[in-house]
Each structure stands twice: as C-alpha cells, then as structure tokens.
Structure 1
Amino acid sequence: MTLHTDWTLNETAERRDTYYAASQRKFVPFKDPMVFKKGQMQYLWDVEGRKYTDLLGMNVCISVGHSHPKVVAAAMEQAQELTHCTTMFYHPVPAHFAQELAATMPNPDGDIEWVVHFTNSGAEAIDLAMTMARTYTGNLDLLALRTAYHGPTAAAQSITGISGWRHPGMPGNVAFVAEPNQYRGIFGEHAGAAPYLDEIERTIDTATSGRVAGMFIESVQGYGGIVEMPKGYMSGAAERVRAKGGLLIADEVQAGFGRTGDHMWGFERDGVIPDIVVMAKGIGNGFPLGAVVTRKHIAAPMAEKFMFHTYGANPTSCAAGRAVLQVIKEDNLQDNARQVGAALLKRLHVLKERHAAIGDVRGRGLMLAIEMVKDRKTKEPDPDTTAAVFEACRESGLILSKSGAYQSCLRMVPPMCLSLDDVEQVYEGLDQAFNSLSA
C-alpha cells in the first residue's frame, strides 16, 4: 500500500492552515512557508530542489547529520524486528543504551552510580527531573534563570523565564535568578560569576522558604540567545543550592552530546558534577527521545509511586541513540564542533566589524549567536533588524533561527558535521544578508 502525499507547497500550507490548531500553526520561522523534502548531513533541500546549509539542526535535534546512514540503518533494523516494546517488558536495546549513556557521565573516583530514565521528549524529562528533585529532597521550591527555556509543558513552562513561552495555569514554587549574561547582564559586561552567585543567595533568602529542591541551569542557554555560563558559575551555584538542601540539575538538552566542543557535556567545563542531568534533542538525531540521568540514590525514592512514559524507552529510538553515540566517537564530532565552531566564531567577529547592527557575537563549539542592537552603547535590542536579516538569510541559502528574550539574536546550532569548507560560505551568506538591508 502506498499513501498519496501531495508535496506542493501551496497545498501543504493550505492543509496546515485548515487542520492544524492555532497553537501549532504559530511556531513558524519565515514570513512565507517552505517545505523541506530532503536532508543529507548538514544540508537541506526544499520541495523545489534548492539547497540550504542547515544552521539550526531542526531545533538542535539533528546532532550527527540529517539522515546519517548509520543512524538510519540502526533504527530501520530495529523497527523491522520490533518497532515498539513497552518498558513493562524487558528489551536489550534500551538497556544497552542506558549503560552507554551512563558511561558518558563524569565519574572521576568511580564511586558514582549513574542511572537512566528514558522519556518521550526533553520537556517530559524536565518535568521528571522537577518531580525527582522534589521527591528526593522533600522541598518544593525550585530556582531557574531568567531568559532560560526548559520546555512547553505546564511544569517545564514554570521554570522558563521568557514570557512568550509561558501560558496561564502553570504550577508555582519557582523563583527566578538573574542570568549571568556577560554582555547585557544586570552587573554589566564581563562581570564574571561572583555577583550572580550572590544573587542566588539573595533569591533563596527572599523568594523561597529557605530550603530548595534544586536549581535548573543550562550550561549554554539555547533559546535564551546562546548565553554561556561564566567560569565558576555552575560550580558556585551547586555549592549554594546544596547548602540549602537542593540539587544541581543540568539541562543539557541543547548543549550536550559534544556540541560545545571541549567536552561531551557543557557543564564539564566548570569542573562540576550535577546531581541530575536532563538530555534530549540530539540524543536521537531526530528520533523522538529524552532522558534523565541521575545518581542512583536520588532516583530511588521515585519507585514509591507510579511513573511511566509510553514511548520513553522505545527500542527503535534507542537503537538510533546508540548509533548517535557511536557516530560522535567514530566521526570525531566533538572535536569537529570545537574546530569548526572556533573558525566560524572568528568569521562572525569579522562580520561584527563590518556591520554596526551587530552588538555581540558569542558562543562555544557549534552553539553560536549574533545579537542585534539599535545602538552599541545603549544595547537596545533590535528585533526588527534581526527579523530582516533572518529573512535575507533564506535567500542566501542559510537556515537558522531567531532567539533570545527579545527575539534579537540569530542562533546557530548546526549538525556537528558542519565542515571547515562550509565556514566561508556561511560567512558570505550572512554578510550578503546584512548587506541586503542597505541595498
């Protein structure tokens, strides 16, 4: 049986507009719709056959490359044998994957027992981590950073510090801490970690009961505009939160799996070992999957009540996940992210010298951003210019995203197979997009 699929752009757009709910129609990037028909490694082709360099990785989900043959083969082999198996029954593929994920966690003295709970998505993994922290500590209050994004479910929204992602009816017991933004943070440029660590203590003293369940931190904020945590921040936060009965929860949904280049996990750069690590997106290279990895004793109390994720340990997705870990190692993608990201960041600094609308360029590995401002002295965000450059990038054959609390950042999180040969083409495409504004 072959199901008919109409690939024409207009018909696809009409079906979306007719049958998608308003909430799902909202999240579109460009003014005019586009339909992608094919992806191969770091490239995409639309329905008309035009080629693009994917600097978005389909929202950071494509970690090792579109339709990577080893990942596709692993998933196909499993799907043909047994597409799904509930965790009510045992299956070796997710069990092996849990062991392999645990082995990627830091364990300098060999005395940490890491365990894994697979979920359907990153947002569900965040929800689970929240419940896990509250169950283990017996405390309710959680800390999160302003401008952080942790997911669209009701619970994950409650620790998301961007109003455009927050809907009515979210649960409470969350206090927000000023994010240690080294470009536009409340303590000015390059203020370091110290004043922001003091803010954690002030927030605990004034906005919580004095005892906390934990603090969620992205080692590099993704949707927040690629805001990297300064040296000493995550380790200092862990010290302060643990002193108040809480846990350090690292959200590595976007920054994990070697994307930052220096380490497998972004938090490792600060020499800290979290109590709970949340991961998703790149874990399956496009196959739906998420996971919470935590210390065994922290997960233990969760056994007292029922917790289940229908597709969380789906063997097909887990087979893809196993292949992702293998490809990251075999293709040396972590080091590639480091080298290619550094080369691209260098070119972004040249771009900043050429275009006054750019207030800041930043990032690490293949998590990079360009932030637009109306004036470099006042740093007033410029979402209009950002939107115009973004639209022009499409004409330059580049796919990226607008992000940040003010939608004034261009975020670049490409598949980690982006090559040094792509860097100049990306630079020229961006330069052309900026030049088109004054044409």
Structure 2
Amino acid sequence: MYRVFAWVRGAWGGSGVVHGSAPTVQFHMSSASWCQNAALKQMRAQMPPCDSKPEPYQGMSKERMLEIRRLNCNGMTMKVTYYKRPLFIHQGFMQWLWDVDGSRYLDMFAGVATVSLGHCHPKVTKAAQEQLQRLWHTSAIYIHPQIQEYAEKLVSHLPEPLKVVYLTNSGSEANDLALLMARLYTGNSDVITLRNSYHGGSPSAMGLTSNTVYKYPVVSNLSCHNTMCPDVFRGPWGGEHCRDSPVQTIRTCSCSPDHCQANDKYIDQMKDVFATTVPRRIAAFFAEPIQGLGGTVQYPRNFLKEAYKLVREKGGVCIADEVQTGFGRTGSHFWGFQAHDVIPEIVTMAKGMANGFPMGAVITTEEIGRPFADGLHFNTFGGNPVACSIASSVLDTIKEDQIQENCAVVGTHLLNELAKLRDKYEIVGDVRGKGLHIGVEMVKNKESREPLPVNAMLEILEETKDMGVLIGRGGLHGQTFRIQPPMCVTKDDADFFLAVFDQALQNFTERR
C-alpha cells in the first residue's frame, strides 16, 4: 500500500506556484474550480523534488489557445486533447512538465514514448545549440560530417548485415519507405501485419495498420493483409508461461514452462493466412517486437522466430518496427527484436531516436538497398545536420548515463509493483511489458476480461492527471493504460506514480 494524504491540485483554474525544489505544489483555486473538484476524493501523494524552476508563463490565455485550436487547427487535433479539462503545457525538464499555471506533472508517457532521455536534457540541448550556431540545414546532396558521423554511430548498434541507413522525418515515413524497399527487392507485393497493429498514418502505412480507428474510407490497403495477434491475455490462447516479461498473465493454461502450446496455435493461424489469403510469394512481414499503440501486447516467446521462418519460406523479408521499442527502452536489449533471438532484414525507427526532434530511419542490408538505389529517392530534410547532431548526442547519452540499465531496473520495479495492484483490483486485468515499455489492461472483471468502457478509462486517466501524473492510453478498445516515460525516471518517481495510480483506482472502485 502506498502512502497518500489529503490534497488539492489546481487543475481547473487559479494561479499555481512551484516552490523551488519543494516536493509539493500549492494552488489557489477559484470558487468554480473548488466546486468542480468537490466531487473527487482529495488526496496528496508525495511528489519527488525537482530543482528546476519554470519561467513564469506570459503567453496567450488558455481561452485564446482553445479558440485558435477550434478555428484554425485540424479537426482531428480537437479530438486528441486527451482530457476533459485540457492540459496547457508550458515548459519541461527531464521527467517533469509544467502547465501555464505553474503546476508540475510527472510525465510517464513522454510525448507518446518520444522524449526518450527527458525534456530539454542538458547534453542533448547543448548539442542542438552548438549545431544551430554552425549550420541549420543543407540537403544531403552535399556531404556534411553530421550525417556520416551519425550513420556510422547508429549502425554500430545493429548486428550485421544491417548497415545501410536511410534517414527520414517520422516513423510513418520510415515504414512507407521500408514497404517500398521490400517490394522492390522481392518483386512481390503482398504484406502481412498483425491485427491490432499500428505502423503509421500515411497512405501506405495506414494499409499496414490494423485498427479501424486509424483508417479512412479510401484505398490504402492494397495487398496488405493481417493475421491474428498472438495476445496471450485477450486472444483465444495463452497463459502464465508464454511471454518474455517480469510479470506473466494470471490466465492459466496447460502449457509447460519449456513449450508454449499457444504459440503453436497462433503460428497455425499465420499458416492459414498463407494458405488462403496471399499468393505463394509475398513481399514482407511487419511487426513491432512489442505492440505499442495496440496496448503493449507481448507475444509468446518464440512467435517472431517461427513467423520469420515462415515469411522467408514465402520469399518475403522481415521488418521490425522499432519506433517505440528501440534505443534501450525495453531494458534487456538495445532493440526489441534482439529479445526474440531474430535478425530482421529491415529495421525502422523514429520517436525517441532524437528525443522528440522529428527524425526517423530505415536500416537494411546492402543487398536490399541495391535495387532501391536504381531509382532516385530524395528526402529534403532526411539527414538534416541539426537532427543528426541531436540523434548522435542521444546515442552518446544513452551510454554515458546508463539509460538502458535504468530502464531495466526501474521498469522491473514498476512491473512488479503494478502486478500487486492487479491482484488488489478486480478491474486491473493484466500487467505486461519490459523495461519502461509497460501496459496495464483494464477490464470490467477478471473472469470475463471484457474491456473497461472508454468513459471509465477516461475517468481514471483524468483523475491521475489531476493528481500530478500523465499516462497514456491504447489498445484496440482503448482499454490499456500505457506507461512509457522518459527513460531517466527514478524509483522515487515510479513510487509516486504508483501511489497516484493506486489512489485513482481506489477512488474509481468506491464510486462504482
């Protein structure tokens, strides 16, 4: 049980004051804000101290920001404010964010698993500033040292024969490019992904994505097919011996510890797709080592290894989407695919690659890159000097600050403690993940495993935010809380999150 105290947090108005490195935030609320807060159980968790102090916010009002967002920003933007009472972020430092009123939040979602090392990390900020003073941009048609230096450093973190780098600006763009390269190399068109997957929102990547929410009624999935996601918690097969995680599902199964029968069943489903849905030869198989937006879904231990073998027998190449699992986040390995004992032909990456600066990449073999080079592919911003300098600093800092090791230690602590909350609350169905790539799947009850309704999820999400912690949400039904913080978080930060999350679950349970 985590220790909690009575508290009031200024989430709906008023003026906040952060008292230097003091562990709490004091807030003076308007009477209207007090009324809005009255229905909630007031509590106060001991927020870890922070020596950084935000600059006073002096920008436009929250009302004006919302007006511009409504009038001038894309309609989709309005749907993803995430909270009923939107969060107006002003400044960040490492694992902390401050809103325009001065309230401090522990960021346990890292801008959707993107701010890998922490907001405004001093080493990365210094690298950006120094490069901005030398050269902002020149196209890759000229040779500048930053792109060469970074490419060499990046491939040193990958196994042979993965050594040819194509730099992009996003994960969607990287997956688009990987798809094109696979089709050119194999001479085949058909591609297989896992159901529940997300590989981006560009026209081609939308075809790879297997979740209706992210699709539009336009042609985007020509020659794209999917097979059953080997989800050992929600799928038809799986149980307590299946996945590579410090925490196993509590769902029982008849598998022995050294042989997962569920894996055999999911591989049979893939064989069925090969027998009924695609031609004799295919282009590629796309998979994240652990699904991210799909709800941090982990597969049986040998699934990818056997799936890769089937794909290669059909003439296809295997593509690892490391957009969320790469750069040490899973703790045990630098890349997620390494935990599956496989080497893909193509690896895509983005997000934490440059700590939030827009950047992505495709890495492949010389053999696969050769036919792609027969045409002319040009990317104006790919390999931008500033992006390369930032990304190079990220790689250096991961090593210097022992970030991967921190992911393993703090992540395992989080997983084990979250498993205790799973045992405590009927609505917590599953806890899973590796390192700081964690999912908590919520259910109406453990017996049915029926997803907790969206309104209930949003209620818990909102209250967690109001108590000073930001987490994410994913899964096919939006039923999984995602914990993917900046990889600099500490055990003290983790314990603060756990206390807040425990209280939010308790409050929700008591209101039911």
TM-score by length of 2: 0.83
State which of 343, 362, 365 in structure 2 corresponds to 1:292. 362
Q: Which deviates more from structure 2 when the two are superposed, residues 134-143 or residues 376-385? A: 376-385
Aligned residue among 54, 63, 71 for 2:107: 54
**Cα distance in 1 between the residues matched to 2:262 and 2:89:** 42
What CA deviation, in whole Å up to 9, does each residue of 1:356-398 have, x standing for no partner? 1111111110011111111211111113322211111111211
CA distance, structure 2, for counterparts of residue 188 and residue 329 of structure 1: 36
Q: 1:15: how far off?
A: 1.2
Distance 1:5 1:237 in 2: 55
Q: CA deviation at 1:188?
A: 4.3
Match of 1:134 in 2: 183
SS, match of residue 185 in structure 1:
coil
Q: Deviations over 1:279-308 (max 9, x none)?
A: 000000011000000111101101122212
Corresponding residue to 1:237 among 307, 310, 320: 307
Matched, 1:148 2:189: no
Supply the distance in 2 between the matched residues of 1:363 and 1:304 (Cα, whole angstroms): 41
State the match for 2:343 in structure 1: 273
Aligned-residue RMSD, C-alpha? 1.4
Range that drifts further, 76-85 or 284-293? 76-85
Which residue of 1 is the match for residue 333 of structure 2? 263
The 5 Å alignment of 1:12-161 reads: 12-107=65-160, 112=161, 114-161=163-210
Which residue in 1 is equivalent to 2:16?
none
Q: Letter of the aligned partner of 2:86 in structure 1?
A: P
SS at match of 2:378: coil
* Residue 491 of structure 2: aligned partner: 420
Please say if residues 178 and 346 of structure 2, whose CA atoms lie closer than 8 Å, have aligned partners that are also in contact: yes
Structure 1 unaligned residues grouped into runs of 5+? none
Q: Which residue in the other structure is 1:409 paired with?
A: 480
Deviations 1:136-191 (A, max 9, x none): 00000000000000001111110111100011221410110111111011324345
2:162–2:345 contact (8 Å) kept in structure 1: no
2:466 to 390, 395, 417: 395
Aligned partner of 1:187 among 237, 258, 262: 237
| SS of the residue 2:373 aligns to | helix
Distance 2:115 2:80 in 1: 19
1:71/1:324 contact within 8 Å kept:
yes
- 2:415 aligned counterpart, secondary structure: helix
Cα-to-partner distance string for 1:95-120 (whole Å, 9 max, x where unaligned):
1111111110023xxxx251100001
1:5, distance to aligned residue in structure 2 (A): 7.5
1:302-313 matches, within 5 Å, as 302-313=372-383
Matched residues in 2 for 1:313 and 1:84: separation? 9
Contact 2:105-2:468 at 8 Å conserved across structures: yes
**Amino acid paired to 1:175:** H
Are residue 200 (structure 1) and residue 249 (structure 2) matched? no
TM-superposed CA distance for 1:67, in Å, is 0.5
Which piece of structure 1 moves more, 228-237 or 54-63? Answer: 228-237
Quick one: distance in 2 between partners of 1:145 and 1:279? 18
Equivalent position SS for 1:307: coil
Identity %: 38
> Quick check: 1:340–1:365 contact (8 Å CA) kept in 2?
yes
Structure exhibiting the larger radius of gyration computed from Cα positions: 2
The 5-angstrom pairing of residues 314-333 of structure 1 reads 314-333=384-403
Deviations 1:244-271 (A, max 9, x none): 0000100000000000000000010111
The alpha-carbon deviation at position 311 of structure 1 amounts to 1.1
Which aligned runs of 4 or more in structure 1 are off by greater than 3 angstroms? Answer: 188-192
Aligned to 2:255: none
Count how many residue pairs are aligned between Structure 1 and Structure 2: 432
Q: Secondary structure at the residue paired with 2:98? A: strand
The whole-number CA distance in structure 2 between the counterparts of 1:272 and 1:153 is 28
Deviation at 1:27, TM superposition (A): 2.2
State the alpha-carbon separation in 2 of the partners of residues 227 and 89 from structure 1.
42
Which residue pairs with 1:224 in the alignment?
294
What displacement does 1:62 show? 0.4
SS, match of residue 301 in structure 2: coil
Rounded Cα–Cα distance in structure 2 between residues aligned with 1:5 and 1:15: 17
Gaps in structure 2 of 5+ consecutive residues: 1-56, 243-260
Is 1:435 paired with 2:506? yes
Task: Tell me, in whole angstroms, the C-alpha distance in 2 between the residues paired with 1:368 and 1:337.
Answer: 11
Residues 7 and 47, structure 1, Cα contact 8 Å, conserved in 2 = no
Superposed CA deviations along residues 387-419 of structure 1, whole A, max 9, x for unmatched, are: 211111111211111110000110010011011
1:397 alignment partner AA: G
CA contact (8 A) 1:120 1:310 kept: no
Name the CA shift for 1:171/1:5 in 2 (closer, same or farther; >3 Å).
Answer: farther
The TM-score, its normalising length taken from structure 1, stands at 0.96
